Amino acid sequence: MNVMQRILIATSNPGKLRDLQGAARPLGLQVECIPNFANLPLVVEDGQTFEENARKKAEEYSLHVRGEVVLADDSGLEVDALRGEPGVHSARYAADEPHLADANTDDEANNAKLIREIKKIPPEKRTGRFVCVIVAAQDGKTLATFRGKAEGVILEGPRGTNGFGYDPLFYFPQIDKTFAELSAEEKAKYSHRGAAFREFLAWYRVNSALGN
């Protein structure tokens, strides 16, 4: 049987949606943004961790689609020599301190700031990782939390035109490419989001009609 199963995600970030759709498609699953997402009241991401923010988004947005399992993704880039920054502030790294929770800055400005900061660090110390936490919630309650990461090196100039966010500055030694040089299939295979989504799927197969 080949029934397309639909999974809802609460995100304003088209890059995340594309990544998840890329990871889901080969499995015959469909990932869609929750209906009317742009008109829902914004959830303020003021948590100290990816988990807190993902949980807050999943729980609050799931109240708008009662009875459905809703996913939220909170993610970012941790640079070791920058004490884990931009981290939970990844979407608003270029904003003035204290990186107010409702003030996202654009990818270009965030990347320009990362380039300025990484140039101050010796090349051999430019390690970091993308982290993704996905929370599944229903009717305002968290059902489960999933985590994925991808280890790499931060470049001081962009490479590649695919992807979004910090992808052009994130070099992934395992296949000698930046994340902006990956196809949708490769990003699903190697990325933090692909890893977290696979964990979700393993859980979903057991906990939903998919497993029947």
| Of 196, 200, 191, residue with least CA distance to 29 | 200
Spell out a b/e string for 82-116, using b for 16 or more CB atoms within 10 Å of the CB, else e: bebbbbbbbbbbbbeeebebeebbebeebbebbee
Q: How many residues bind ligand ITT (CB under 6 A)?
A: 24
Closest-by-Cβ residue to ligand ITT is 165
From the list 22-30, 60-68, 153-161, 165-173, the region that binds ligand ITT by CB under 6 A is: 165-173
Q: Kindly name the residue from 73, 74, 107, 167 that is annotated as catalytic.
A: 74
Query: DSSP alpha helices (H): ranges in 29-176?
Result: 50-62, 107-118
Under rule CB under 6 A, residue 78 binds ligand ITT: no
105 neighbors 93 (Cβ within 8 angstroms)? yes
Candidate list 76, 87, 128, 148; residue touching ligand ITT; CB under 6 A: 76
Task: Single out the residue of 56, 126, 162, 166 in contact with ligand ITT (rule: CB under 6 A).
Answer: 166
Is position 80 annotated as part of the catalytic site?
no
Number of Cβ within 10 Å of residue 35's Cβ equals 11
Positions in the binding site for ligand ITT (CB under 6 A): 11-13, 16, 19, 45, 73-77, 90-91, 104, 110, 130, 163-167, 179, 191, 193
Catalytic residues: 74
